[in-house]
Amino acid sequence: MPKFMDIHRGMEGLTADQLKAAHQADLAIEAQEGVHFEHAWADPDSGDVFCLSEAPSAGAVQRVHERAGHKADEIHPVPLSV
Amino acid sequence: MPKFMDIHRGMEGLTADQLKAAHQADLAIEAQEGVHFEHAWADPDSGDVFCLSEAPSAGAVQRVHERAGHKADEIHPVPLSV
């Protein structure tokens, strides 16, 4: 299954609990689109959040994020990894 | 040890072998700065490469990348992760 790295911008001041809740919201509905969000990393100072997922398409990633209330600003397929 | 996500832009057309070689170049010298590059993901279409590392500082991350010949365009501390 393809992997994607998506970026959310503008989440300055995000707390650990908020990140956990957002990730839980994704996990709760991800199966609807055949997506699995593996990890998320956040920089509360710049407000950038990075999410790594396996998904059938970038659209599927965005649909889950959108339904969970936090659209991604960028979604990159990452076919290469080490 | 703090974690960082750094982004390299402009690597359109990057191949699997090139990503592997770049990562190996980092691994070969990372100990000089007390850095460990855990993973890298690449999107050859957009040319964006994402590197996750543990490091004492963003400066240490950039010094290793610079010596290895591929400066990062953005380096984000990611104190929060799930």
A43 vs B contacts (CB less than 8 Å): 5, 76-80
Q: Which pLDDT tens digits describe chain B residue by residue (82 residues)? A: 999 999 999 999 999 999 999 999 999 999 999 999 999 999 999 999 999 999 999 999 999 999 999 999 999 999 999 9
A8-22: per-residue pLDDT in tens? Answer: 999 999 999 999 999
A42-70: per-residue pLDDT in tens? Answer: 999 999 999 999 999 999 999 999 999 99
The pLDDT value recorded for residue A8 is 98
Q: Tell me what percent of the residues of chain B surpass a pLDDT of 90.
A: 100
**Is the distance from CB of B7 to CB of B49 less than 8 angstroms?**
yes
With a cut of 0.90, is the ipTM above it?
yes
**Is the distance from CB of B58 to CB of B20 less than 8 angstroms?**
no
Is B3-77 a CATH 3.90.1150.10 domain?
A: no
Q: Answer whether A78 sits within 8 Å of B52, measured CB to CB.
A: no
B80 vs A contacts (CB less than 8 Å): 14-16, 19, 41-44
Quick one: closest CA in A to B50, which residue?
A5
Residue B7 backbone zone (phi > 0: left; psi -120 to 50: alpha; other: beta)? beta
